[in-house]
Amino acid sequence: GWCGGGIYFATSPQATETKAIGADSSKGFMIEARVRVGRVGQADKQCHYNGREAVGGALFAMGYDTTSFNPGDGTEIIIYCGDQVEAVKRYPYGNCPQACTELSWHAGAQPSDVPSTCR
């Protein structure tokens, strides 16, 4: 990704439509996560801080453990430590029938609510 190796999050289910669009990307599941963002640095649209790239150790040295940036298609939040993810739910997305895709947009949806054709 633009901001180096990390875990990238969109800020809403709708915002994921323009993410993960590379040739080797797919949309099999949407993940709803509770994340401890910690100290967030705001980067420019190329994920630079004051014109310089800052990921990993350089980002931590600046006092941040999370980056927020907007590459032009919506804000992304990037964390660099897996232990910042506290809880995860996953919902079918993408190649499922329309009913499955619509269900995945509802924050209260439970895996047991998903039709078996979507699993």
Split at pLDDT 50, 70, 90, the class of 112 is low
- How far is 59 from 54, CA to CA, in rounded Å? 5
Tell me: pLDDT of 106 over 60. no
Q: What would the mean pLDDT of 59-76 be, rounded to a whole number? A: 91
88 inside domain? yes
* Total domains present in the chain: 1
Could you list the beta-strand ranges (E) of 2-118: 7-10, 29-35, 40-42, 48-49, 52-53, 66-69, 76-79, 85-92
Split at pLDDT 50, 70, 90, the class of 93 is low
1 inside domain? no
2 inside domain? no
Q: Note if the pTM is more than 0.85.
A: no
Tell me: pLDDT of 102 over 60. no
Residues 6+ away with beta carbon under 8 Å from 67: 3, 6, 40, 41, 42, 43, 47, 55, 59, 77, 78
The mean-pLDDT minimum among 26-35, 56-65, 77-86, 110-119 falls in: 110-119
80 inside domain? yes
118 inside domain? no
**Residue 78, domain extent:** 7-113
